[in-house]
Amino acid sequence: MSSDVTEALEEPENLSYEELEEDDNVSATDLSELLKEGTKESHDRAENTQFVKDFLKGRIKRELFKLGTVALYFTYSALEEEMERNKDQPGFTPLYFPLELHRKEALMKDLEYFYGEGWREKVQCSEATQRYIDRIRHVGQHEPELLVAHAYTRYMGDLSGGQVLKKVAQRALKLPSTGEGVQFYIFDNISNPQQFKQFYRARLNALDLDKGTKERIVEEANKAFEFNMQVFEELDKIGALLAEETQEGGLPVHDGKGDLRKCPYYATKLGAAEVSSCPCHVALALLKLPTVQLVLAACVAVAAGVVAWYVM
């Protein structure tokens, strides 16, 4: 945790960590409490989306994890740009912690790890992510008092489940234990996430807001959860289009259902010309397509028939 935050924790008007822990008098009108209670249902639903459930079980394909990282990159780029724009707004300044929280730089490292140096040309913003970003931009530019809802939903969540998700991803995708590919989950400047969350809650509660604005913030946080769920659902659909195994560096195996050209994964991959030119990889990938298997089986049957007829 940076010295700024440590000092702030020690300032009497900001309450120390110990005092915060002992402070059971959380008021029902405290924004932190309103947010926690008011987004409880959304949180439950987010945790129970197929994508999140699969992720927690370690059922995540490398290509899907990469696309998830892309979605986070576009989301945090927009969120952190709007936070920069609003850093001097009294309704947001107390929640502005670029050093401790901002994730864009970490996500850029992850994308470079997964896609290589030219990653910028290889990634694109998905439809669901674009809708989320459009809302963040609208809020940042026209309703800045609601920006705190978007910051709360993402950063408090990242600080809560981040360590678990990091370990799941490392194990499932066999990523190096040194943190490459999972920088997003590592908060170098926060030594104690639990303590930081308490501090963040105290800052939320200290905002000078009327009842109506607090209600609008809770409503906006629920919208933020909803946007996140739409991104998960989109990823889930893409995941269903990817077959069980994806050959690293080669064509991922499509299960043959639906229109291949509509698969955003293929659009990104093919558009970026990242597909292996190795004929063996292409042949192996094609062999796993059900249609190709069917045609091959038919050819073998016809050939066997011809041979049998010739022999007899």
For the bound state, the minimum distance from the C-beta of residue 36 to ligand HEM, rounded and expressed in Å, comes to 3
For the bound state, the minimum distance from the C-beta of residue 121 to ligand HEM, rounded and expressed in Å, comes to 28
Q: Which of 36, 131, 167, 237 binds ligand HEM (CB under 6 A)?
A: 36
Nearer to ligand HEM, 86 or 153 (CB): 153
- Give 252's strand partners: 246
- Give the helix ranges, DSSP H, for the chain: 3-10, 17-22, 31-38, 40-47, 50-56, 62-85, 98-101, 104-115, 119-122, 127-142, 147-151, 157-173, 193-205, 211-241, 264-271, 279-287, 290-311
Rounded CA separation 41/280 (Å): 49
Name the token pair of 121. 């040309």
Give the CA count within 13 Å in the CB-facing half-sphere of 312: 5
Determine if residue 171 is labeled as part of a ligand binding site.
no
Number of residues interacting with ligand HEM: please give it, by CB under 6 A.
Answer: 16
Determine if residue 150 is labeled as part of a ligand binding site.
no
Q: Which of 9, 46, 64, 207 binds ligand HEM (CB under 6 A)?
A: 46
Tell me the residue number closest to ligand HEM, measured at CB. Answer: 157
Determine if residue 152 is labeled as part of a ligand binding site.
yes
Cβ of 226: how many Cβ atoms within 10 Å? Answer: 15
Q: Which of 8, 34, 35, 78 binds ligand HEM (CB under 6 A)?
A: 35
Name the token pair of 184. 């997003």
Q: Which of residues 194-213 bind ligand HEM (CB under 6 A)?
A: 197
Q: Which of residues 105-164 bind ligand HEM (CB under 6 A)?
A: 152-153, 156-157, 160-161
Nearer to ligand HEM, 119 or 126 (CB): 126
The answer to whether the beta carbons of residues 247 and 285 sit under 8 Å apart is yes
Nearer to ligand HEM, 46 or 64 (CB): 46
What's the DSSP call for residue 144? Answer: G
Stretch in the footprint of ligand HEM (CB under 6 A) among 43-51, 142-150, 251-259, 265-273: 43-51
Determine if residue 59 is labeled as part of a ligand binding site.
no
For the bound state, the minimum distance from the C-beta of residue 160 to ligand HEM, rounded and expressed in Å, comes to 3
Rounded CA separation 44/51 (Å): 14
Q: Which residue, 180, 78, 175, 172, is CA-closest to 129?
A: 78
Give contact residues for ligand HEM (rule: CB under 6 A): 35-36, 43, 46-47, 52, 56, 152-153, 156-157, 160-161, 197, 225, 228
